[in-house]
Amino acid sequence: MQLGVPDHDGLTNEDGTGIQCLTTLLPATPSNFSLRIVFLKCHILQARLKSDYVNTAMYFARLGTLFCCVVFFFAPIFSRLHPSDLEVWYRRALLASAATSALRLHQRIKSLNTGFSREVLEVLISEDSSHYLLFSIMFAVLPPVTVSLVPIFLFALLHAASFTRVLLNVSYFENSSSTEIYLTYLFMLQTSVSLNNGGTSDGSDAPVASSNMSCIHQIIQKSIDKVKAHDQNILRIIALNEIMLMVICIFMAVSGPRIFVLPFIYYPFLKMRYNSRRNPYTRNAFLELRIALQNVAYHSKCPALISRIIYGLINIISRLGTGGYARN
């Protein structure tokens, strides 16, 4: 039975172009079977990225954050970059993170659909995106603090992994019946010609290409699964890093006049993180540290001076939750 060319009117995008154009540019023959698959996947990905430009911009900004952080962390090992060049990558990572936070805050403002008011301002201040917009700008204008890149790197890793999974699902045509029909037709064409030629065809490289693409997909998918499986631990690491940064800022304050103001600027950020609406991990980390410190202070062998210092720290931590920010 000879296969005819199917009607592709139902295989177009919303603008009436795309897959229909592929049938004109690349006729459905076995020799370009795998090439048509690649073009089709690229077109679907392009359409998905264009359909949500804000999330796409945030995705590439997060990839930029990851790339700049990796260069800053590992460039001294594999190259001899001047410290001033490394500082450029440090600030690029923070600025990319600031751009991501600004875009996310823009999304949040649009979702409220209300006029500007005190209540709206309180909601925006309680958003994680506003916290890390302040965080990124704060450390971008001050001398480099390497540990400050840890939270923005881990947040970018988590969110980039989630969006990459979405793109992988789109590229493999999940929830797209029209493309499934089209791929079924291509498979039938390939199988038919292969049978007519006694089991061989000009498109015999298609299974190899498909296998390679499937292997790459599996590697990326497994990497994403590992990141998602440890997302709770990653968020706890971020929370502990936010707390430890306060201690680092205090010790760095004595190193020079430019960093002297850092603890006073960082404290409001830490207070906002403690009162975050969406992220309880910082509060939980404070609670775990408080319990651990109390156990040390209650120990019979703990000196009285150390106990007083511990109780003073606990009192300072307790004041973090007395601000005007909404709690969960």
Check residue 172 and give its pLDDT.
62
Spatial separation of the C-alpha atoms in residues 33 and 207, rounded to whole Å: 10
What's the predicted TM-score (pTM) here?
0.74
Spatial separation of the C-alpha atoms in residues 271 and 121, rounded to whole Å: 16
Spatial separation of the C-alpha atoms in residues 137 and 140, rounded to whole Å: 5
Identify the CA nearest to 12 among candidates 27, 24, 4: 24
Spatial separation of the C-alpha atoms in residues 214 and 216, rounded to whole Å: 5
Residues 83-113 pLDDT 10s? 777 889 999 999 999 999 999 988 888 777 6
| Residue 194: strand, helix, or coil | helix
Which residues contact residue 100 at a Cβ distance below 8 angstroms, ignoring those fewer than 6 apart? 58, 61, 62, 65, 156
Question: Taking the domains of the chain in order of start, what are their residue ranges?
Answer: 10-229
Residues 286-307 pLDDT 10s? 888 888 888 888 888 888 888 8
Identify the CA nearest to 89 among candidates 28, 140, 158: 140
Is 260:207 a contact under the CB 8 Å cutoff? no
- Lowest model confidence (mean pLDDT) among 132-136, 181-185, 249-253: 181-185
Longest dimension (CA), the chain: 93
